[in-house]
Amino acid sequence: MKKVMFVSCMLLISGGLLAQSGGGKKDAANKKQQMKQMIDEQFKFAVEQYKVLAKNTPANVMPKTYYAKNNKSETSDTKWWCSGFYPGSLLYIYEYTKDAATLKEAEARLGILEKEKHYTGNHDLGFMMFCSFGNAYRITKNPAYKTTIDTSAASLSTRYRPAAKLIQSWNSSSRWKGPVIIDNMMNLELLNWVSANGGDKKYAAISKSHADKTILNHFRPDYSSYHVVDYDMKTGEVVKKATWQGAADSSAWSRGQGWALYGYTMMYRFTKDKRYLNQAKNIAKFILNNPNMPADMVPYWDFDAPGIPNADRDASAASLMASALLELGQYTKKAERNTYVTAAEKMLTSLSTDAYRAKLGENGGFLLMHSTGALPLKSEVDVPLTYADYYYLEAMLRYKNWYL
Ligand code: GLY
C-alpha cells in the first residue's frame, strides 16, 4: 500500500469544487446518487463481513486486529482502549440494515463490556463506553444503557486534576509525570453527553477546562498538534511536549490530528462556543492543505513520516477525519461546507475501493485494510483496526443522514 501517487490534496479539493461549480446541480445530484449507492453497498457488505469477524472472535473477548501474513486474528480483553468499537460498529450496521442477528451480537458484546464502567486505569473510558453504550442507548433507549453511561462518566471524572484543569490520560511512569495525549479530546464526548442528558453539570465543566487547556498547550502555530504534553499536575505547568506514536516530537502524527479535529468539532456541538469551532476549522485547514496529504486522501501514518511517498498509510486516520469533516460541515456555510464534504467524500470513496476495503471472508472479517496503530513501537503496522471500521461506518451514516 505504499506506492500511491503523491499529489497535494489542495489540487484535488479545488478540482472537486471547480467540478461542482462547473457541472452545477446535475453533477451534485449525480454525486449524491453515487454516494448513496456506495454507502448502501458498503453496509450490505458490512453485515456479512462482520459475521466472519464474529466467528473469529471468542465470546469473552473483543476483536483487535488481523495479520494476513500468518492468517492470525488477535483479540483483546475489555480493558483495551478499543473495546467499545466492535459493539459500536455492530450497532451502526444494525442501524442501517436492521439485521436482527447483528443487534444480538452487539448486545452480547455489550454484556461483556459493561463491567468496565468502573475502570479508572486511564482516560480511555469515553472510547470504550460511549462508542458502545452511547450508540446502544441512542438506538434502543434501554434505560440500563444510560445507567452504564452515567457510571462511566463518574469513573472517567476521577482522572480530572483540578489544580491543572486537565484529565490525566495515563498514569505517571518513569517516562511521564502527568501525560495528556491529544486523543483525550475524544473522551470528552461521554462527559458532555451525560451533563446534557440529566447528569451532573460538573462533567461539562471538566470537559471545557480540559479543552481550553489543550488549546493552550497542545497546538503549534500552524494548528498541528503534539501527541503528548506532559504536565506537572500539581501546578499545571508543562514539563515537556513529545510524542509516543508519532514520527518525532515535532511531527504531526496523523491520527492525532484526526482526534483533534473530531474533538473540537464535538466540543462545538455541545457548547456552541465559537472558539472551539475556529479551532476545528484551523485544524481542518492544516490537514486539508498539507502538502503531504496523498491524492487519495488516506493519510500517511504521520504527516512528517520518513520515506513519504513510500510510507505506510493509516486508513483509520482517513475514516476518523471523514466523520469529523462531515460534522464540521454541519456548522459552516455553503462554500466552506463544500470543501469539508468534498474531502470527506474523497476519503470515503478511496476507502471503499479494493485498495483499502477487504473482500468478503478476507482480512479476518474486518472491513478496512491498511491502518497503522503505533509504528514507532512496531505495533499494528499495515493492519485492520476496529476503530478504522467504526469511524468509516459512522462517517457513511452521517453522510446518509446529513447530505443525502
Ligand atoms: N488512542 C490511541 C490511538 O489513537 O492509537
Q: Is 354 noted as a catalytic residue in this protein? A: no
**Residue ranges lining ligand 1, Cβ < 6 Å:** 81, 183, 245, 255, 373
pLDDT tens per residue across span 35-44:
999 999 999 9
Would the pLDDT of 80 be above 60? yes
Would the pLDDT of 2 be above 80? no
**Contact between residue 151 and residue 102 where contact means Cβ atoms under 8 Å apart:** no
Site to substitute for ligand 1 among 64, 65, 79, 81, most atoms within 8 A of C-beta: 81
Site to substitute for ligand 1 among 122, 183, 257, 316, most atoms within 8 A of C-beta: 183
CA 387 – ligand 1 centroid, Å: 9
Residue 224 is predicted with a pLDDT of 99
Neighbours of 4 (CB within 10 A): 16
DSSP state string for 345-393? HHHHHHHTSTTTBPPTT-GGG-SB--EEEEGGGTEEEEE--HHHHHHHH
The Cα–Cα gap between 259 and 320 comes to: 7
C-alpha cell at 149: 453511561
The CA-atom distances, in angstroms, between 286 and each of 12, 64, 110, 223, 278 are 15, 30, 37, 6, 12
Mean pLDDT, to the nearest integer, of 97-121? Answer: 98
**For the CA of 124, the nearest atom of ligand 1:** 1
Across the chain, what does the average pLDDT equal?
A: 95
Banded model confidence at residue 342, pLDDT cuts 50, 70, 90: very high
Nearest to 282 by CA among 369, 223, 242, 332: 223
The domain ranges of the chain are 32-403
Would the pLDDT of 255 be above 90? yes
Site to substitute for ligand 1 among 259, 320, 383, 390, most atoms within 8 A of C-beta: 259
Q: What percent of the chain has pLDDT over 90?
A: 93
CA 226 – ligand 1 centroid, Å: 13
Residue 390 is predicted with a pLDDT of 99
Residue 13 is predicted with a pLDDT of 47
Would the pLDDT of 12 be above 80? no
Residue 1 is predicted with a pLDDT of 55
Show binding-site residues for substrate: 124, 183, 243, 255, 259
CA 260 – ligand 1 centroid, Å: 12
Mean pLDDT, to the nearest integer, of 321-334? Answer: 98
The Cα–Cα gap between 28 and 33 comes to: 9
Would the pLDDT of 249 be above 50? yes
404 CA to centre of own chain: 22
Nearest to 172 by CA among 164, 182, 180: 180
Nearest to 388 by CA among 99, 89, 129: 89
**Contact between residue 355 and residue 296 where contact means Cβ atoms under 8 Å apart:** yes
pLDDT tens per residue across span 142-187:
999 999 999 999 999 999 999 999 999 999 999 999 999 999 999 9
Residue 23 is predicted with a pLDDT of 67
Would the pLDDT of 400 be above 50? yes
Note if the pTM is more than 0.85: yes
SS3 276: helix
**Contact between residue 45 and residue 368 where contact means Cβ atoms under 8 Å apart:** no
pLDDT tens per residue across span 294-306:
999 999 999 999 9
Mean pLDDT, to the nearest integer, of 191-212? Answer: 98
The Cα–Cα gap between 383 and 380 comes to: 6
| Per-residue exposure over 97-118, b if at least 16 CB sit within 10 Å of its own CB, e if not | bebeebbebbbebbebbbebbe
Residue 102 is predicted with a pLDDT of 98
Q: Is 249 noted as a catalytic residue in this protein? A: no
**Contact between residue 395 and residue 330 where contact means Cβ atoms under 8 Å apart:** no
105 CA to centre of own chain: 22
Question: Ligand 1 atom 1: the closest Cα is on which residue?
Answer: 183
State the DSSP code for 230: E
CATH of 32-403 given 3.30.420.40, 3.40.50.300, 1.50.10.10, 3.30.1300.10: 1.50.10.10
Residue 21 is predicted with a pLDDT of 53
**Burial of residue 274, with CB atoms counted within 10 A of its CB: 0-12 exposed, 13-18 middle, 19 or more buried:** exposed
Mean pLDDT, to the nearest integer, of 112-141? Answer: 98
CA 170 – ligand 1 centroid, Å: 12
Banded model confidence at residue 19, pLDDT cuts 50, 70, 90: very low
SS3 161: strand
Residue 24 is predicted with a pLDDT of 84
